[in-house]
Structure 1
């Protein structure tokens, strides 16, 4: 929001800033002196006192229950072997059937299975499909640390985009770790993209996904660019996992504040290692934050103030802006990781509305 749209009077800028400078000058000089005095000393971490974290009344009633939920059971239980990872992946999809059915029914979405480029996919089509979107197509990559949410449950976000945005969506059921580490997921994403390019105009296609799906979205367009393939008209990485080494301020600042991922020291950090396999976590196609953002498509990014990966999101936004890319950022109040995907809350409808409008402006 611009200053003018908040009722800011530009003619008062000099007076306001000048008065503030006079008022705070002694304090600023003192702080500057202290900073210079500390400059020669090693910079250390600060201890943060333990405190209660209230549920703010600045979110919808439906979202309050999500924000105030306890930490999920098992967040700190790291699978010890491939069999335990497979068991966790299977468990991640159990019990989702009724919710997925409700999404389809309430939002008017038809779900079909297909194979594109040799890769299994789920195709979500809204009923009715608006005439303006009949020649448009979105490609979706699900989250889950490249290890969880196989099958139909991984298409849930795609169904919501079809329902809220009224686009046809192809959700890619890519191969996952530990059985298929990097680059299997990326290979599947590229295979689907190449097959779709043979039948669709890239100017009428976009890519999106959340968490690992957001990271895979960025990795896919980077690899497509390297291979000389046409890029989608726009992308929408939600809370993208772009730094699998776990750097970034909110990895620490939002630890245990995020009631979704909770901490990088849980299963999510272990998922990074099994996905990368023998490759370095700094590989730009594994951690796209280290890649070249030049020439990437326009992007809209989504996160929440309590998201463990908020720093991944804002760092990606800054890299895009520094590369001259048209990039928008929406951050939702009090939400932890990927909670803008909670079905049937006002915040979720708003998030998808913003994403759909952004994509609609950039798709031919």
Structure 2
């Protein structure tokens, strides 16, 4: 991720400091706790040179301070993502059209010249990241452009409702409304859904919500740098330290304004809480990096899907950070786009 990472960590954190980066660790107090001394961690020897350059230039740099006004934060990330969109469009030619689907604002991103005959009826719904606070518009295009170009499949990004203007389940309702509209012209087996970070969480929540509404499930989904559970586990502690950020304790849904008032044990919030809900998931692609604070949530989601017999494919890139493929230059980003394209090509009906 980059300059966005520090604010996302603050947004996803439970605000209980456990270990200040660069300082000696406190003695262990609870069973299983380990006091880790300060040390210098080298960057991954397996990462590409371009990834290393971006890691130094962006990831290790401070971002906006926590508590920044939402309008200023949205404008800040829009500038970052607009720059990425320019770079992406130079590498991955697409056509973009503004529209409304099921009453939800959307952008239709198609491969330049349109999809092939084989992909004419296939469509992917993209749910952008941004802590359920920002990311609409340019942030959505960052996730949609390379996938549409590499896969040859039309991608529809949704401008779902976010906090602070809206609360759960507003975003799930918006996804279901757009999905219901698409079902008038497409079979469910021709539709896939994917998202990164908050969009990855929303993808899982939307599958649960779609089933709750009695709609047929999509053909396949992608949960990237997030999963069907809270952002907890080892990576919530280790990954921030490996990206030069303060380390915080386990994450709760309550730390995100969008989930204010929602129950953490509600399977429509965290589908991993209900085996019956999770067992009904379609084939799922999960992607993360070893320096992604959401990696443990991704691993846990994959573990539970496999345990329940759901087809689940997991890819983790060494040294990569949260939403690393937002920048198109590293080899790891190009590899991830190819993985996404192959997965949806394999599972979406013609």
TM-score calculated relative to the size of structure 2? 0.84
Q: 1:270 to 1:279 in 2, by over 3 A?
A: closer
**1:206 counterpart SS class:** strand
Aligned to 1:120: 105
Aligned to 1:170: 156
Aligned to 1:217: 203
Structure number with greater CO (CA < 8 Å, separation at least 6) is: 2
TM-score calculated relative to the size of structure 1? 0.81
Aligned to 1:202: 188
Q: 1:17-47, CA deviations, whole angstroms, 9 ceiling, x for partnerless residues?
A: xxxxxxxxxxxxxxxxxxxxxxxx9614111
Displacement after TM superposition at 1:95 (Å): 4.2
Equivalent residues, number = 317
- Quote the Cα distance in structure 2 between the aligned partners of 1:247 and 1:56: 23
Displacement after TM superposition at 1:241 (Å): 4.8
Structure 1 residue 278 corresponds to structure 2 residue 261: yes
- Quote the Cα distance in structure 2 between the aligned partners of 1:100 and 1:42: 46
- Mapping of 1:281-360 within 5 angstroms? 281-291=264-274, 292-360=277-345
Aligned to 1:31: none
Indicate conservation of the 8 Å contact 2:238/2:247, yes or no: no
Displacement after TM superposition at 1:60 (Å): 1.5
Indicate conservation of the 8 Å contact 1:309/1:337, yes or no: yes
Aligned to 2:54: 66
- Quote the Cα distance in structure 1 between the aligned partners of 2:253 and 2:184: 37
Aligned to 1:234: 220
Aligned to 1:187: 173
Indicate conservation of the 8 Å contact 2:81/2:138, yes or no: no
Indicate conservation of the 8 Å contact 1:90/1:150, yes or no: no
Displacement after TM superposition at 1:289 (Å): 2.8
Indicate conservation of the 8 Å contact 1:262/1:308, yes or no: no
Indicate conservation of the 8 Å contact 1:71/1:262, yes or no: no
Aligned to 2:9: none
- Quote the Cα distance in structure 1 between the aligned partners of 2:254 and 2:78: 17
Displacement after TM superposition at 1:264 (Å): 5.1
Q: 1:238-275, CA deviations, whole angstroms, 9 ceiling, x for partnerless residues?
A: 0115444x43121112232136x865579x97984311
Structure 1 residue 149 corresponds to structure 2 residue 135: yes
Structure 1 residue 78 corresponds to structure 2 residue 61: no
**1:305 counterpart SS class:** strand
- Quote the Cα distance in structure 1 between the aligned partners of 2:206 and 2:249: 27
Superposition RMSD in Å: 2.3
Structure 1 residue 94 corresponds to structure 2 residue 79: yes
- Mapping of 1:102-117 within 5 angstroms? 102-117=87-102
Aligned to 1:26: none
**1:135 counterpart SS class:** coil
Q: 1:264 to 1:176 in 2, by over 3 A?
A: farther
**1:110 counterpart SS class:** strand
Aligned to 2:37: 49
Q: 1:47-72, CA deviations, whole angstroms, 9 ceiling, x for partnerless residues?
A: 11111122233221211112334534
- Quote the Cα distance in structure 1 between the aligned partners of 2:195 and 2:346: 19
Displacement after TM superposition at 1:149 (Å): 1.4
- Mapping of 1:14-33 within 5 angstroms? none
